[in-house]
Amino acid sequence: MKKLKVIVERCPQNHKCPAVRVCSVNALSQKEFDAPIVDYDKCIKCGKCANFCPKKSLVLEDIK
């Protein structure tokens, strides 16, 4: 099983997050320039946002 994790320390938080736009199910949102917020009820764990994030702030992790 996988879960999307936001690594806030890697996120520059100085612009609109481009990964929010690539999410096809609108599971990512952002307030101002804060790090993105994941709606786990919507997230389908496809990894599209994690692959798109240039800072690798979004990571699709294996969970036990």
Q: Which domains does the chain have, with CATH numbers?
A: 2-62 (3.30.70.20)
* pLDDT of amino acid 45: 96
Instruction: Decide if 46 contacts 4 (C-beta within 8 A).
Output: no
| Cα–Cα distance measured from residue 32 to residue 46, given in angstroms and rounded to the nearest whole number | 25
pTM exceeding the 0.85 threshold for the entire prediction: yes
Per-residue pLDDT tens digits for 1-57: 999 999 999 999 999 999 999 999 999 999 999 999 999 999 999 999 999 999 999
* pLDDT of amino acid 64: 78
